Structure 1
């Protein structure tokens, strides 16, 4: 079982039993040594047994705390997106670090402030050497905490890539594009770009298509023709009829924008293709051709 998976009830009970057993050993070791002073072996191992018991209790307690948190956070609810794996990894790292420091403090019988101070220079040199990696890691933490996207979301990372989020790691985020291409992006680059999430706050969203028709065609008739044709599309969301708006009006042609609802992002191209095909068939049946549309003015 990975750290990103919720443990079962039996696993949690085993962890709790391990914590209780370790605490019991740590609690009875020294009282037994005082009660039976003639046992030299018990006198010799009482202190190490106590420290070992407390150390095991620290690590078992950290594992138990992580298991309870993971079971609660990964509990699937309707309409709730999964918790990013990086958050559970960060929680496990913090709990493990606390348990390690507590265990070292028990065995060395002093606090760890001197050790941490002495290793500060080494950490500074190491941090400078791996500064790019640290930038990716901290960006991954920020993405995990702010959660602009979750696993399974369709996103567009400006100038970088577009696809479905498959994994959010410490250093990189992995996407799968429409063409089933695996794209791996450093988290520091993602955090510096504009992110468009097509799956939030819900998977359904509205897209649009534009076309320009001759100016001699009445607007009311054109809107009715386009709306009726687009409403017969099977790929778009049902229960929400398309809307047709006029965006450009001029002697060379009138531009219409038809808005429709896409069920989810991976069906966007299919929806657009069907909407255009139905509108094209309706226009050809009526003998209506597209207009060239207004040309942009270079001197404006």
Structure 2
């Protein structure tokens, strides 16, 4: 071998080693720079290899001296850099193609194929190993290994099938036939990890997921429809009951109002009118809070309109008398409001005696934005809204209070209050509360302090917050904690 060839061979080894050092120094956080480095060093090694007249795709018996060792190392380094450059292109393609995180399975599969191909090429073109014989012999071992690992291989290939079919992506909420449900937080070769609403991690083998049907609640979006059954004693016409149930749904802050919720009458007999309420929530994680609010509102609207809930089927007690349902009195309504629950019986009776019942048609303004109210309004029947710049900030139902900030704290209204449906309400002038200050000087201050601490139903001016329960806001934290990141 000529001195000229020896110099180029040594240069190939230096370029290969330098490329490895630079590649590691750049770190994993700079994939684009790594790929450029791999391509530059690979092209430089290829050009030098051509100049040295060394054919990496052909096996040449090495010389039994230092020069032969240099040639073998040069070929190994060239094949190594070829595999890294190819893998870099694969990873960049997956990123630019906008694939989800679970495409990591495809990436790992392609990387394994590249490494296997390079290993066989090095064995064949550098060391002259007969690959055909090895492949024929390894077939027997592959059969034995496949039988021993058939369950694991089933999970692996099921994971590949799920990745290619994409029935779900990382972050989707899925529901399985056995009742298991949760968000997909990770997926690997063998298993898929679900984070349930109870903050538990469920590990599902990919073969199990591939064999059963699953419901992806997050597609096309996370809005989910719920159904709640209600039975009402038939003391009023079904049309009237239907309107009351629609009012209850219209006053709910936890559900989606567009498209509007609906009510269906599904049956009637002497004991009850059977109704189903259909409403949607933004996410399955909010279904409990939405159902809680709907049940509370159904009860409040039924009491406000003189309706009674019927007993479950088969539990009715036969009675000769007519069922009577008392309507809510002013005193009963006051006692149900948290703001006045600590008042004495005498104070509650005095406030109830000063209440004046009034009615307002739909779309009528009750309190203007920026005004300091000198009267308290308590909704007895119907639905009202608090609106700010054409956006609804709260929906008010029977038992909700308006004007408390002005009467007790002297603060202006942060939003406009108007009726959504015809509303019946009680109006209590500030002078009624001022008359009670004679016997209890700190009454107004106590009510103002209670208002600041707890509000008065929806009088805080905004719907109740939706607490996180396995939502996407917790997804990043769950993934980081799962893999030990902080």
Task: Mark yes or no: TM-score above 0.5.
Answer: yes
Whether the 8 Å contact between 1:255 and 1:293 is mirrored in structure 2 is no
**Counterparts in 2 of 1:59 and 1:186: CA distance versus 1, 3 Å:** same
Residue 221 of structure 1: aligned partner: 240
Residue 79 of structure 2: aligned partner: 55
Whether the 8 Å contact between 1:154 and 1:198 is mirrored in structure 2 is yes
* Runs of 4+ residues deviating >6 angstroms: none
The answer as to 2:64 corresponding to 1:64 is no
CA distance in 2, matches of 1:234, 1:186: 39
CA distance in 2, matches of 1:275, 1:269: 10
Residue 30 of structure 1: aligned partner: 53
| Superposition deviation, residue 110 in structure 1 | 6.4
Structure with bigger RCO (C-alpha 8 Å, 6+ apart): 1
Task: Choose the corresponding residue for 1:147, options 153, 163, 166.
Answer: 166
The answer as to 2:137 corresponding to 1:118 is yes
Unpaired runs of at least 5, structure 2? 1-23, 56-63, 315-486
CA distance in 2, matches of 1:143, 1:6: 28
Residue 95 of structure 1: aligned partner: 114
Aligned residue pairs total 280
Q: 1:230 is paired with a residue of what secondary structure?
A: helix
Q: Which string of whole-angstrom CA distances, capped at 9 and with x for unpartnered residues, describes residues 175-198 of structure 1?
A: 111111111121112222221111
Q: 1:189 is paired with a residue of what secondary structure?
A: helix
Greater Rg by CA = 2
Q: Which string of whole-angstrom CA distances, capped at 9 and with x for unpartnered residues, describes residues 2-39 of structure 1?
A: xxx9854322212222322332343222279xxxxxxx
Residue 18 of structure 1: aligned partner: 41
Q: 1:208 is paired with a residue of what secondary structure?
A: strand
Residue 294 of structure 2: aligned partner: 275
Unpaired runs of at least 5, structure 1? 33-39, 76-80, 296-300
Q: 1:52 is paired with a residue of what secondary structure?
A: helix
The answer as to 2:208 corresponding to 1:189 is yes
| Superposition deviation, residue 173 in structure 1 | 1.0
CA distance in 1, matches of 2:266, 2:120: 65
**Counterparts in 2 of 1:155 and 1:124: CA distance versus 1, 3 Å:** same
Whether the 8 Å contact between 1:214 and 1:291 is mirrored in structure 2 is yes
CA distance in 2, matches of 1:6, 1:89: 18
**Counterparts in 2 of 1:94 and 1:218: CA distance versus 1, 3 Å:** farther
| Higher share of residues assigned helix | 1
Q: 1:148 is paired with a residue of what secondary structure?
A: coil
| Superposition deviation, residue 268 in structure 1 | 1.6
Residue 169 of structure 1: aligned partner: 188
**Counterparts in 2 of 1:227 and 1:20: CA distance versus 1, 3 Å:** same
CA distance in 1, matches of 2:267, 2:109: 53
TM-score normalised by structure 2 residue count: 0.52
Whether the 8 Å contact between 2:197 and 2:285 is mirrored in structure 1 is yes
Q: Which string of whole-angstrom CA distances, capped at 9 and with x for unpartnered residues, describes residues 95-134 of structure 1?
A: 3333333333322446733321110111111111111111
**Counterparts in 2 of 1:104 and 1:272: CA distance versus 1, 3 Å:** farther
Indicate the RMSD between aligned Cα atoms, in angstroms. Answer: 2.8
Whether the 8 Å contact between 1:6 and 1:71 is mirrored in structure 2 is no
TM-score normalised by structure 1 residue count: 0.82
CA distance in 1, matches of 2:179, 2:115: 36
**Counterparts in 2 of 1:269 and 1:91: CA distance versus 1, 3 Å:** farther
Whether the 8 Å contact between 2:102 and 2:187 is mirrored in structure 1 is no
